[in-house]
Amino acid sequence: MKRFIERFVEGLLLISGSVTSITILLIVLFLFKEASGLFNKPVIEEGYILVTNKSNPVNELSSYQIKQIFDSEIVNWDEVGGKEEAIEMVRLSDIDKKWSMSNEDISKKINDLVDDHSGILLYLPMVYITKEFKGVILDQQTIRPVDFFGGQEWYPTATPAPQFGLLPLLLGTLWVSVGAVALALPFGLAVGIYMAEVASVKLRNFLKPLIELLAGIPAVVYGFFGLVVVVPFLRQVLNFPVGETGLAGSVVLGIMALPTIITITEDAIRKVPYATKEASLALGATQWQTIYKVIIPYAKSGIISAVVLGIGRAIGETIAVLMVTGNAAVMPHSITEPMRTIPATIAAELGEVSVGSAHYQALFALGVVLFVVTMILSIAVDFFSLKKK
Amino acid sequence: MNINKQQAQKIAFILFRLMSFSVVGVLLIILGLIIYRGIGTISWDFLSQAPEQGMTKGGIYPAIIGTLYLILGSSLFSFPIGIMSGIFMSEYAANNRLIVMIRIMTNSLSGVPSVVFGLFGMSLFVNTLGFGDSILAGSLTLGLLSLPLVIRTTEESLKAVDYAYREGSLALGASKLQTIRNVVFPMAFPNIISGLILSIGRVSGETAPILFTVAAYFLPKLPSSIFDQVMALPYHLYVISTSGTDIEASRDIAYGTALVLVTIVLILNILANLLRRYFAKKVKTN
């Protein structure tokens, strides 16, 4: 009986040992499940169609082309592969405004419009199409992977064709996190090296808990600090037109990434064998020469881990960034502009979308991108540290 | 100017020292500002009343209670599983492929951004399992998020116990499980607890995972079951400092909320450190 209980408990331990692997699998499963529908979604709202005159050779438009036409950025059919002819864009609401009439009359009116105007592009609900319809219904496209991964606009509420372009958000994320690590790295490395090699035990025991505290402060408090200190500082002291910029995000994230970089650097440097240091000192090198010529090269892979994990932390940080970067989902050109990161977009928009809509699926697709990127970073770090052993 | 190697060392070390102190300085500025601006708001009423007048007046009582519920709920989930997993990793896991795999997975899970946990929790707990926005869904999400930390703490604390104790116990005829339960685990206990306390600190401050799984914008009433929504301190701070009805008027409340959050983290950190020192002393005298 006792043996049986022991076996049972050991079985339980084994099962709980696998809990993180199961969690990762579940995360993959559910994120992909929610995101996968995105590429089956029509580019325009379901139940709606685009129609043209039957003489028009164009029979399909991509999501981005539709958006540009409705924003009047494309005004001629020859820009989308048709004849040289001005696009005459009509929405149902335009018809409603001009002539108030019953549904059948609208159907008839639409039919006449499409037949008479060779450059017309009509956006309307499918219900108005009758049997004797004389126009051409454009092929119903679905959102393509290239619209998401290569899309330059994130504008999920645009009608008729919402834009789910990853690029502006990805670039925003990169600007902010690279800026953060660039700011944090010199300090992180210096403090890590100082604590491991230079500082007295007493000073180290003083610094260590403070660094831990820095790691323990909640992200939302950092965001709040950014909002009341960093943002006004950028605007008033550095004279930025707006304070909520990528740079504000980088400063806040840089502070938040410091403990990660410091701790891992310190650990890496502590692992350098004492004999290696002594050999260098015995050859007449100063402590500083030993640090930068022997210890740092020796601890290189650990320091690289520190950098990579610091970037990982910065890429995934959500709430603090959301509070200070200004949230403009446009292609950023410099770090002094407002921008928006991937996690901030998810946090800001997920609350307002209906489950299963294209927008909802697009946000999960962003989650997949984020998950894959951070997984690659952590596995790379693990791989290198295992190899080193 | 030529500088010799001693001077170079002096300059480098002074620079390092300055940089270290500037990092500490940043911490002190953040803490100082929040304490200085927040202390005036803290009163018994602030801690025991619900928000009023569009959250520009009144207190944060429901948010404090909500955060306590979430801490409790997530700990009930993550502590038993995480500790068991940690015991397995430290005491049973041989160094084979499976274990390397599990370790990589644990490390990777700790690198998964918190907002991804939020997405996952929303998809699995809120929608698929039908818990809705609830304490249950939020606690499970936060529990999963804190698992890697709990596992790693347990594993490292157990590994820190000298191997001789295990051998002594085994030599006396105790089984492996008895050895773990009666010898290794009790010795590692204070260190494990200090790690768990830090994980509570992490859970209490997380915002992104609770955005879509539990957090309510404004809910003066306390929850009556685990399927209710709650307010939570970090989400409350986020809301009143960015999208409240009157951001300027609720600044004081925001500082007060930030101070409460920071105080929780501060107390938990001090507690964890005291326990760790106690542990270090105990092992030395052994």
User: Do both A117 and A207 map to the same domain?
Assistant: no
A125 inside domain:
yes
**Which CATH number does the domain housing residue A227 bear?**
1.10.3720.10
Among B26, B111, B115, select the one facing A347 at the smallest CB separation. B115
Element (H, E) at A163: strand A163-164
Cβ pair A17:B93 closer than 8 A: yes
Contact list, A374 vs chain B (CB under 8 Å): 108, 111-113, 116
Considering the domain boundaries, does residue A59 fall inside one?
Answer: yes
> B175 vs chain A: nearest CA distance in angstroms?
9
Residues of A in contact with B235 (CB under 8 A): 220
| Chain B nearest C-alpha distance from A89 (Å) | 38
For chain A, report the end-to-end CA distance as a whole number of angstroms: 42
Rg (CA), chain B: 23
Select from B102, B110, B235 the Cβ nearest to the Cβ of A17: B102
Q: What was the pLDDT predicted at A236?
A: 85
Fold of the B44-285 domain: MetI-like fold (1.10.3720)
In a domain, A211, yes or no: yes
pLDDT digits (tens, 9 = 90+) for B2-20: 678 888 888 889 999 999 9
- Same domain assignment for residues A219 and A279: yes
A251 and A349 share a domain? Answer: yes
Interface confidence, given as ipTM, is 0.91
**What pLDDT score does B283 carry?**
60
pLDDT in tens, B167-187: 999 999 888 888 998 889 988
Q: Are residues A302 and A380 located together in one domain of the fold?
A: yes
**Is the distance from CB of A167 to CB of A238 less than 8 angstroms?**
no
Closest CA to B202 of B145, B276, B154, B254: B145
**Which residue intervals of A39-117 are DSSP H helices?**
63-70, 92-98, 103-116
Residue A105, domain CATH:
3.40.190.10
Separation CA A94–CA A90 (nearest Å): 6
**DSSP 3-state assignment of A132?**
coil
- How many domains, chain A? 2
pLDDT tens, chain A, 389 aa long: 778 888 888 888 888 888 888 999 999 999 999 898 888 888 887 778 888 887 888 877 888 888 888 888 888 888 887 778 888 777 777 766 666 666 667 777 778 777 777 788 888 887 777 777 777 788 778 888 888 898 888 888 877 888 898 999 999 999 999 999 999 999 999 999 999 988 888 999 899 889 989 999 999 999 999 999 999 998 888 878 887 888 999 999 999 999 999 999 999 998 888 898 889 989 988 888 898 889 989 888 888 888 888 888 889 999 999 999 888 888 888 888 889 999 999 999 998 888 888 899 999 999 999 999 999 988 888 887 776 65
Model confidence at B56: pLDDT above 80: no
Specify whether A119 is located in the same domain as A244: no
Nearest alpha-carbon partner for A196 in A288, A269, A302: A269
**Kind and range of the H or E element at B57?**
strand B57-58
Binned at pLDDT 50, 70 and 90, residue B244 comes out as: low
Do A129 and A277 sit in the same domain of this protein? no
> Is residue A114 domain-shared with residue A178, that is, in the same domain?
no
Q: Which residue type is seen at A218? A: P
Task: Provide, as residue numbers in chain B, all residues whose Cβ is less than 8 Å from the Cβ of A317.
Answer: 113
A301 and A173 within one domain: yes
pLDDT of residue B75: 94
Considering the domain architecture, whether residues A277 and A321 belong to the same structural domain is answered as yes
Tell whether A151 is covered by a domain: no
Chain A residues within an 8 Å CB radius of B109: 20, 23-24
Domain ranges in chain B are 44-285
Are the C-beta atoms of A210 and B30 separated by less than 8 Å?
Answer: no
Which residue in A217, A223, A319 is closest to B265 by CB distance?
Answer: A217
User: What integer pLDDT is reported at residue B176 of this predicted model?
Assistant: 86
Task: Tell me if A147 is assigned to some domain.
Answer: no
Domain that holds residue A136: 48-141
Average pLDDT across chain B, whole number: 87
Task: Choose among B20, B127, B201: nearest Cβ to A207.
Answer: B20
Structure tokens at B239: 């809301």
